[in-house]
Structures are given as structure tokens and as C-alpha cells.
Amino acid sequence: MQTLSACLLWFAVVSAPLWGQVAKPLEFDVARIKLSAPGGRGGGVRPLNGGQTYVATNMPIRTIMQLMYRITPAQIVGDPDWLNTERYDIEGKTDMKGATIDQLHEMFQTLLADRFALKFHKENRQVSGYELAVDKSGVKMKISELPNTFDIPIKGAGRGKLAGERVPMNYLAWFLSQQLNQPVIDKTGLDKFYDFTLEVPPPAPQNLAAPGTPGAELPAAPESNR
């Protein structure tokens, strides 16, 4: 574990607009937002095939923000309670063809800021976290040749296993940060998409864990190509 400089979203009343005087951010052409039906189970956030529609179903805004800004829960500070207690169904559509996932995330960020009147700013703080780096033995992941279907990149693949398909390293770093609730910074220098399988070890018994050990453990390095 290392001390890193991580970005936090700090909720407060600010005098300047979220985006200041920079170029106008990307936004959806059509958007629909409503409170989820009470008692609903499950939920998720994902783009639909084709990359022109992004949906959130029965999800709190705080969780959506973690994905759209690729941050951990600990990096959101001073937020109001309703951000985590109220659940929403959201659908955003763009006429832009060939939009990247980062462009879709920017559109969703704009939607959240506009429709929910969110006032927050970014700041850097020194926090404990991890760096994701390539092992000395080299990269054991396979460069992906799969087309972009805008599917969820990392899914369960049986007991103790996770399968990654067409995964960029910044997404893998964010995925690991969610398991640890601590920032994971991508230091691999890898700029392609990869397929891999992760073997996830079971957590150590609490009476064997060293003081200060995170409750979740980093999955083992990829062991095989898909």
C-alpha cells in the first residue's frame, strides 16, 4: 500500500459553476429520470448495445457517481443523505454515433449535475491506496479482439473466478478500487483492451488478519488467457 494523491468529490455550496469557463461538456440529447418503484429488488447501471443509450435501474445517485467518475465511496465527501437513500431509474440517449464509454460517462455526469442541481468541486488529498503495475514476468493477459458491445467488462465466472472481456486498464483499476474501497491507480502503461480470468482468493479469517489489513483482498494476478 502506498500514499497517493487522489481526487475527491467534495459537496458544498460553490460560487462557480461545476465546469467553470471551459468548453461546454457533452450531454445526452434525450433523458428521462424518475424515482424507482418502492420495494424493488436488484438494479444496475450500464450502456446498451450500440453505445447510444445509458440506463440506471433502481440505483442511488451516489453509486451511479462512483461509476461515472470512477471513484470509490470514500472519495465522495459531505454528500446529502438522499444521495444514498433514494433510488432512481434513469435513461439517457445520444444521437452521437461511435461515442466512447468516456464520452457517455461525461454525458451522464452532465445529466446528474443539471437535473439534481449538484454542487461540488474536486480536490486532491493524500490517501492510502494501491498502484496497479505489470509484474516483472510480463503481461499474461490476451489483447482482446472482441467488438465493442458496451457490455459489462468484468463478470463472475464461477466460484472464486472473474472473467474480463475487452477490459481497459483504467476500468480494471476502478473495479479493484471498488472491492477495496481505496483508490487504485493505473500504472501499467497498457493502453489496449484485454481478456483475462482472475482467481479471487477467499478472505483470510479475521483472527489471522494483521491490524490495518483491508477487509477485502486484491484478486490474484491474471493466470490464464481466455
Report domain extents, the chain. Answer: 2-123, 133-208
For the segment 179-222, what is each residue's pLDDT rounded down to a tens digit? 888 889 899 999 999 999 988 776 655 444 433 333 333 333 33
CB atoms closer than 10 angstroms to residue 26: 17
DSSP 68-119: HTT--GGGEES--THHHH-EEEEEEE---TT--HHHHHHHHHHHHHHHTT--
pTM equals 0.71
Residue appearing with cell numbers 479475521: 206
Computed from CA positions of residues 190, 193, 196, 200, in that sequence, does the dihedral angle turn out positive or negative?
positive
For the segment 3-61, what is each residue's pLDDT rounded down to a tens digit? 555 555 555 433 334 444 457 899 999 999 999 999 888 889 999 988 999 999 999 99
